A and B are shown apart, each in its own frame.
Chain A
């Protein structure tokens, strides 16, 4: 167990403050961040305009014409002190169908070679875990996932690709993730998902939140195309399971 230190409140300009719970990537510290975020939403503090939860801190943006710095700091510290040891409790598991290898993941052979495993083994290992979403950032809906099996860790490409297609599922070092929009990047492409983690025209533009978990579910090329047709019409319902304790917590 990581020891979670006392929250530190830091100034981040005249319209934001940062509540920092530690200086490492751990589920316990991230759990505190998400729990504080939930507590703030529940409390409904007038003047807070938005929050950004990250690995180890919560950025709270506010309108200084609506609430004073000192008053906000007091209320936030009180909430932070009262947090239990429990994690966020959001705990949904979102299933993401992935077609691995071939034209869908051209670097899968390289990842397998680097790991000294067969492609099937890599797919089995990659799809046998629930990955905690520590935070979203970098791109709309880009999830920073924790808990990838180190056996399939593979260094980033020496020269990044100029354009990685949206929906690519990739491995970069010890991390794995999904590219929600086309973007440059140096991660190794192992598969692709037909679902759209991000769609600006959807009422809920992003499928998941920090604190949820992602489960990659292998599908065939044929299933991929069927799901894609539904996703294009906006009628593919991603499987979401509630109350996941997953593995780890």
Chain B
């Protein structure tokens, strides 16, 4: 017993950290787009950071619980409410069988993460419970949730230790986002002017923004000869520049290989900011070295370990 989906929302999928080791077979990594929000939702309800949860997009679902447990909602502010009363984001809440969790307007950001203490009773496919929408496997029957679906809790909790501590500051998202980018692997394909444009100008998030990638509109990034390469591997956060000269940033469901030139890669710690952008938001790129991007990543990992110890040990 767990919950029943009364309304599915726009795009509600089961995600975890994604699949590792299958990209050489052409299988996308998948996983939560805002990994920071995902990790925090899990830590708040005493789960391992990589436990499967729900990723909600723009319009959240309406769920009826069929068992008692604890939940936490993080990421964008989609106005969560329990039995009609607003509840705080970034905090653990007890829920009882019969309770209804609903979401309203997206106030800031666009992707929220809903974690359930003890995780979801779903099978892992290729070592992950993430939904791979293109291939139709993983998560709940390989697809987004629909009204009438029921998902059980794996091991619901009767209580959480240090319950009063389980609340964190809720960030707000939106406006202009600055993304730090490591140049390469094909920065040679662009003119000096092209690279100046890329780092100097502002780009707008277009509606062509899904779990595969985010297409931007703005000044053309000039390349030297042609924009295409012989297909090679695509890392998370790769910034492709197709022949239009407009950047596309590759996200969790990206193709494993591709033939567009990649000017750079967004620093891992900044990908969660992009995940919360809405069409119309503006994006600027700032240069960062590999060493500095990795320092930031290690610092964040350390901070999360500390928080985990504080909440759960």
Contacts and interface: CB of A to CB of B under 8 A. Distances in A.
Interface of A: 10-16, 18, 20, 23-25, 37, 49-59, 61, 64-65, 68-69, 135-142, 144, 180-181, 198, 200-201, 205-206, 209-210
B135 A200 contact: yes
Contacts of A15: 235-236, 268, 297
Given A11-B185, A69-B290, A16 B265 contact: yes
B184 A64 contact: no
Interface size class of chain B, counting residues whose CB lies under 8 Å from the partner chain = 35 or more
Interface in B202-252: 230-238
Interface in B163-200: 182-186
B151 interface: no
Contacts of B26: 136-142, 180, 206
Interface stretch (B61-69, B101-109, B254-262, B273-281): B254-262
The 4 A-B residue pairs with the shortest CB-CB distance, nearest first, are: A59-B233, A13-B265, A137-B257, A52-B233
Interface in B256-313: 256-258, 262, 264-268, 290-291, 293-294, 297-298, 301
Contacts of B294: 14, 64, 68-69
B125 interface: yes
A144 B256 CA distance: 13
A56 B230 CA distance: 8
A141 B237 CA distance: 23
Contacts of A136: 24-26, 256
B290 A11 contact: yes
A14 B236 CA distance: 10
Contact of A65 (B186, B234, B257, B301): B301
B83 interface: no
Contacts of A205: 22, 25, 27, 126
Interface of B: 20-27, 125-126, 134-138, 182-186, 230-238, 255-258, 262, 264-268, 290-291, 293-294, 297-298, 301
Contacts, number: 147
Contacts of B137: 200-201
Contacts of A58: 233
A52 B184 contact: no
B238 A12 contact: yes
Q: Tell me whether chain B's interface is mostly helix, strand or loop, or mixed.
A: mixed
Contacts of A59: 232-235
B231 A135 contact: yes
Nearest to A51: B24
Contacts of B20: 49-50
B31 to A, nearest CB: 13
A14 B267 contact: yes
A185 to B, nearest CB: 14
A220 to B, nearest CB: 30
A142 B23 CA distance: 12
Nearest to A22: B230
Contacts of B230: 23-25, 54-56
B289 to A, nearest CB: 9
Nearest to A10: B185
Contact of A11 (B125, B183, B234): B183
Contacts of B266: 13
Nearest to B181: A13
Nearest to A181: B135
A201 B238 CA distance: 30
B111 to A, nearest CB: 21
B235 A69 contact: no
B135 to A, nearest CB: 5
B268 to A, nearest CB: 5
Contacts of A144: 231
Given A12-B238, A18-B232, A141 B25 contact: yes
B130 to A, nearest CB: 12
A16 B234 CA distance: 9
A11 B294 CA distance: 12
6 contacts: A51-B24, A55-B230, A137-B231, A140-B27, A142-B26, A180-B26
